[in-house]
Amino acid sequence: MILVTGATGNIGSALLKELHARGAGPLRGLTRDAAGADFPEGVEAVEGDLGEPASLKPALEGVRSLFLVSRLGPDADILEAARLAGVEHVVLVSSITVQTHPHLGPAGENLAVEQLLKASGMAWTILRPTQFASNSLMWAASIRAHETVSAPYAGTALPTIHPADIAAVARVALTEPGPGHRGRTYALTGPEPVSARQQVEAIGEAVGREIPFLEISRRQAHAQMAAVFGAEAADAVLDVTGGDVNDELLMVRDTVSQITGTPARPFRQWASENVDAFR
Ligand SMILES: NC(=O)c1ccc[n+]([C@@H]2O[C@H](COP(=O)([O-])OP(=O)(O)OC[C@H]3O[C@@H](n4cnc5c(N)ncnc54)[C@H](OP(=O)(O)O)[C@@H]3O)[C@@H](O)[C@H]2O)c1
């Protein structure tokens, strides 16, 4: 039995589809609202809250392989619940910032989860993706309302990744027989650098009209973001999206194609697949 957490999210929903399409055996998706889950036929929807690890017991029963998104609850307790339930292998979604920006708070938290997993006694595979193409959904409401999209660091091009490519790597790690991907840490990127301005252009091509774009200052962006998730988190996001990027973060890697045998998907593919969110 494979349990996918974050199963209704960008990576998790793609992962369940991949696993199901390839007949990967009994599958279960974790959600806080099973009635609202739209999983492939035959995938079991199980309720549980990562914020309350005791609630995960039914979801973990019989599970041998676990796909885990981090930092949605007390990860030490979540990993201990998995170990006690008999989980043998955990594929963890961490972040590339663990190696590019280890001084930032969220990166330190991800590193701590990685270390907990390595010390857990379970086999592990750690995925460190760069920023997701799906982050551009933050512009969806403005685009649908035909408003101007505003973003800082408009020309900073990062190798944004399609969440389905993270899912594809996770599927291989979860299902390939033998020790191949166990004990491995993979930094994952998309196939090419793409800036915020280029992302909005690609979404414009998908919806069939030019989307007005305005570059704003770090200070303006910080004021907007800090109101939603706090000043420190806003600074961390602004650093890794343009304010303090480094060669390691800018680097395009071929890890996705090496592991899956298929090239990583470009941003414009994500935009055309998700065009309805912007209409
Ligand atoms: N966005 C980026 O650029 C980026 C970069 C590196 C790493 N990451 C990491 O990638 C992970 C996955 O991202 P994503 O985009 O696939 O997710 P997402 O689309 O934002 O969806 C979040 C998922 O987490 C689940 N969830 C949230 N709180 C939960 C809780 N308390 N208990 C159980 N489930 C909970 C939700 O399930 P229900 O609502 O159905 O319960 C949903 O399936 C994130 O955790 C993030 O830390 C993101």
Report residues whose beta carbon is within 6 angstroms of any ligand 1 atom. 6-12, 30-33, 49-51, 69, 71-73, 93, 95, 129, 131-132, 134-135, 163
10 CA to centre of ligand 1 in angstroms: 8
* Residue bearing the CA closest to ligand 1, atom 1: 132
The per-residue pLDDT for range 26-36, each reduced to its tens digit, is 999 999 999 99
Distances (CA, A) of 262 to 155, 166, 168, 203, 254: 28, 12, 9, 24, 10
* Residue bearing the CA closest to ligand 1, atom 4: 131
Cβ atoms of 263 and 169 closer than 8 Å: no
Q: Pick from 57, 60, 93 the residue to mutate for probing ligand 1's pocket: most ligand atoms within 8 Å of its CB.
A: 93
The per-residue pLDDT for range 178-199, each reduced to its tens digit, is 778 999 999 999 999 999 999 9
- Report pLDDT for 151: 98
Complete domains list, the chain, with CATH: 2-132+163-189+247-264 (3.40.50.720)
Residues 6+ apart with CB under 8 A from 180: none
Which atom, in ligand 1's list, is nearest to the CA of 132? 3
In this structure, of 93-97, 167-171, 175-179, 214-218, the range with the lowest mean pLDDT score is 175-179
Cβ atoms of 75 and 116 closer than 8 Å: yes
The per-residue pLDDT for range 240-275, each reduced to its tens digit, is 999 999 999 999 999 999 999 999 999 999 999 999
